[in-house]
Structures are given as structure tokens and as C-alpha cells.
């Protein structure tokens, strides 16, 4: 047995059944040298980004950017989880489609099953370290958390198995929206210091650095979202007399074009690099402008908030009081839940587009295709 262990050839049993010879063999920490089997088609999800993807990391450090109170989580979980939604968010559905359990927040003290993946996303985060600095886990710190997780993974399952798992995994990222929205809503002079092109280059440059570092750590399969129609969200309409904010819209379009360009470039530069990009800008605009076509009743106003279009950020209360904000009866009738975030039903539409959307919305691969590639 010692000779077999030293050569990393493991015989493993799952109950009384022997695993297939092609499986990855995963040691069970509590059982010392005992092992369980991970099928050869198992693919983990490692999730980075902002509130579209955050499963509750912001619950576990000192910040006011949280969704750990009613009515967040009211429809699916029946309690607030820290997700900025009435229910599930995009990564929850992707995990379900990939036959994985929900991937909890990395900072959740009870979560250590990294063989299924980990969620590092933080609501309010940007690609730029300075975006809401001190209140969020910025993208570079999320990368540091991934590296720490990878070290623990290697100790748990062995270096060879960890290398295989990391290379098979899909790396999902939603980032950039806060880099453009935060300076605008704070009346920052940042946009006066740089041309739109210069500012977008900084955001994309920071994202590119993180992508390259994940690739250096062994990541090969990446999935990204275009930024959605941020200039037309309820928060923007509420302060712009019901119209879309053209300055943010212009920045979003520049960002999406630059992201597409840099990913094509990285595909030719980085060995084994494959990616998926999903256009939720056009999809989100289509749903917002034609809600009835997609089974919604309201496309422009939020389900939860106050003021015009319920676009003032007052959704929720730590003591459960509804005083000061309005809450719709059925979130599934609405495209947007609060001032800026999709309802669970909208997130499902986005997730389906990411998972198996055709080339008109998701390209050059969809996530299903990435998962199925060895």
C-alpha cells in the first residue's frame, strides 16, 4: 500500500463499488488515506465578480453593501442569503445545469468543498482596486483568495489531482459595471481626468491581468458577461427623468467592444485558452423593452425600492419594516428586483443564454460546450 500511495496510484471505493479507472481520486480529509472518487467528467465552477454573481461574501466582512435582510431571498430561499435578488442568481443556475450543488460564498465559514468550485465574487466590486475601496473585495483580492483556496485544495486532494481539477474548471466572471456606475453616482471627477477610451482601457487592463494570472495558475476555460444596459436600469431612470443615461451607456458599449477584442487576442496568446462571452447588453435591452414577449409585466420599474421607477435604493430593512420602500407582489412579473439587479426569473434567462445560447448571444463557445470539453 505504501508503494501505491507514493506513486500516487490510488485504489478507491465508493460504498462497495469500485470507481472507473479514469476517475480522479479525491482523498477524504477526515479519513486519512481513504479516498472517494470524482468522475472524469466532473467540472468545478470558480466564480469571480460583483453583485450579479456574489452569493453572500459581503456578509462576512465589515461593509454596508449587503443584501442580508428582507425582502432579498424571499422567493426561493425564503430567507436572505446575501444574494442581490429575490431568489437565485446566475451562477446558481449554471451550477444546476452542470449538475453541481449551489456554490456558496467562499467566505462562508462552513464551506470547504472546493472540488465543486468556489464563489469569490463581492457585491460592489470592480476591476479597479479603487472602485468602492474598503467596502468590497476587489478583483485582485478575489484572485488572491483563489490562490489560497488552490493551496488548500492541493493539500486536500494532492497536487496532480488539483492540477487536473483546476484545468478542467470553468472560470465565470462578471465585472466592470461598478467601475462605471460608482464614479457616476458619486458625482466623481474621475471621468474628467480620463477620456472614456482611457478609462475603459484601465478597466479592461486590470481584468486582463487577472485573466492571465488565473491562466498561469492553470485555468483554461473562461466565461464572461458583457455589461448589461446599466444606463437604463431603474436607478438611472430615477435621476434622469425616466430616460436612459447616455454617458454610462456609451461607456458600457466601449467596454463591451474592448472586452471582446481582448479575449480574441488572449485566445491567440495563451496556450489552451478558451472562452465564452454572453451579450446581456442586447438581451437585457430586448427583455426590458419587450417584457410581455418574455412573460414579464414590467420592464422599466423595479420590484423593490422607492421613488420614480422604484429606482431609489431603499429596498429592504434590517427590522423587517416596509416603511420607506415599496415592494411588488410578484417579483417574477418584473425584469429588475431592486434598483440595479435582475429578479431570479431574469437571472434564469441570462443563465440559459450563458449555458446553451446560440452564436447570436453567446460565442465562440457557450458554457455547456466548455464543460463538455476535456
CA gap 197, 67 in Å, rounded: 33
> Residues near 7 by Cβ (< 8 Å), separated by ≥ 6?
none
**Which pLDDT belongs to residue 334?**
98
Give DSSP secondary structure letters for 40-93: TT---EEEEESTTT-SSGGGGSS-S----STTTTTTTTSS--S-SSSS--HHHH
Residue ranges in the chain modelled with pLDDT below 70: 1-37, 186-189, 191, 317-323
- Annotated active-site residue 333? The verdict is no
**Which pLDDT belongs to residue 323?**
63
CA gap 92, 89 in Å, rounded: 6
**Which pLDDT belongs to residue 183?**
77
pTM, entire model: 0.90
Q: Which residues pair with 357 in a beta bridge?
A: none
Which helix (H) or strand (E) element contains residue 345? Answer: helix 344-356
DSSP helix/strand/coil, 7: coil
- Annotated active-site residue 54? The verdict is no
Q: Which of 51, 174, 340, 347 is catalytic?
A: 51
CA angle 320–111–206, rounded 5-degree value? 90
CA dihedral 153, 157, 162, 168 (to 10 degrees): -110
Per-residue pLDDT of 41-51, as tens digits, reads: 899 999 999 99
The beta strands (E) that lie in the chain are given as: 13-14, 17-18, 24-27, 35-38, 45-49, 117-119, 170-174, 221-225, 274-278, 298-302, 304-305, 326-327, 334-336, 362-364
**Which pLDDT belongs to residue 2?**
40
Q: Which of 54, 179, 279, 338 is catalytic?
A: 338
**Which pLDDT belongs to residue 39?**
81
Q: Which of 10, 35, 255, 341 is catalytic?
A: 341
Q: What are the b/e assignments for 30-56, b being 16+ CB within 10 Å?
A: eeeeebbbbeeebbbbbbbbbbbbbbb
Amino acid at each position: 500500500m505504501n508503494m501505491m500511495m507514493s506513486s500516487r496510484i490510488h485504489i478507491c471505493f465508493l460504498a462497495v463499488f469500485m470507481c472507473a479507472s479514469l476517475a480522479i481520486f479525491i482523498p477524504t480529509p477526515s479519513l486519512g488515506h481513504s479516498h472517494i472518487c470524482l468522475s472524469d467528467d466532473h467540472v468545478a465552477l470558480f466564480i469571480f465578480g460583483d453583485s450579479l454573481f456574489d452569493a453572500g461574501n459581503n456578509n462576512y466582512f465589515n461593509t454596508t453593501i449587503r443584501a442580508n435582510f428582507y425582502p432579498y431571498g424571499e422567493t426561493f430561499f425564503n430567507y436572505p442569503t446575501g444574494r442581490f435578488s429575490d431568489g437565485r442568481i446566475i451562477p446558481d443556475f449554471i451550477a444546476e445545469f452542470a449538475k453541481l450543488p449551489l456554490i456558496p460564498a467562499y467566505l462562508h465559514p462552513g464551506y470547504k468543498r472546493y472540488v465543486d468550485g468556489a464563489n469569490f465574487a463581492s457585491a460592489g466590486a470592480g476591476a479597479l482596486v479603487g472602485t468602492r475601496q474598503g467596502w468590497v473585495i476587489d478583483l485582485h483580492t478575489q484572485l488572491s483568495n483563489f490562490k489560497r483556496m488552490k493551496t488548500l485544495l492541493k493539500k486536500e486532494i494532492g497536487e496532480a489531482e488539483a492540477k487536473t481539477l483546476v484545468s478542467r474548471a470553468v472560470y465565470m466572471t462578471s465585472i466592470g459595471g461598478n467601475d462605471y456606475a460608482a464614479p457616476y453616482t458619486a458625482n466623481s471627477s474621475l471621468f474628467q481626468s480620463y477620456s472614456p477610451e482611457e478609462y475603459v482601457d484601465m478597466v479592461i487592463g486590470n481584468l486582463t491581468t487577472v485573466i492571465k494570472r488565473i491562466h498561469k495558475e492553470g485555468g483554461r476555460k473562461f466565461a464572461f458577461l458583457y455589461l448589461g444596459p446599466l444606463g437604463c436600469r431603474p436607478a438611472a431612470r430615477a435621476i434622469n427623468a425616466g430616460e436612459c443615461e447616455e454617458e454610462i451607456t456609451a461607456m458600457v458599449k466601449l467596454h463591451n467592444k474592448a472586452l471582446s477584442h481582448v479575449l480574441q487576442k488572449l485566445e491567440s496568446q495563451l496556450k489552451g485558452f478558451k472562452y465564452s462571452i454572453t451579450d446581456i447588453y442586447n438581451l437585457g435591452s430586448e427583455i426590458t423593452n419587450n417584457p410581455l414577449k418574455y412573460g414579464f409585466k414590467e420592464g422599466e420599474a423595479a420590484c423593490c425600492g422607492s421613488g420614480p421607477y422604484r429606482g431609489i435604493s431603499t429596498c429592504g430593512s434590517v427590522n423587517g419594516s416596509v416603511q420607506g420602500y415599496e415592494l411588488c407582489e410578484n417579483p417574477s412579473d418584473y425584469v429588475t428586483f431592486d434598483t440595479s439587479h435582475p429578479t431570479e426569473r431574469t437571472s434564469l434567462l441570462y443563465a440559459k443564454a450563458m449555458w446553451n445560447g446560440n452564436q447570436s448571444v453567446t460565442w465562440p463557445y457557450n458554457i455547456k460546450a466548455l464543460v463538455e470539453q476535456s
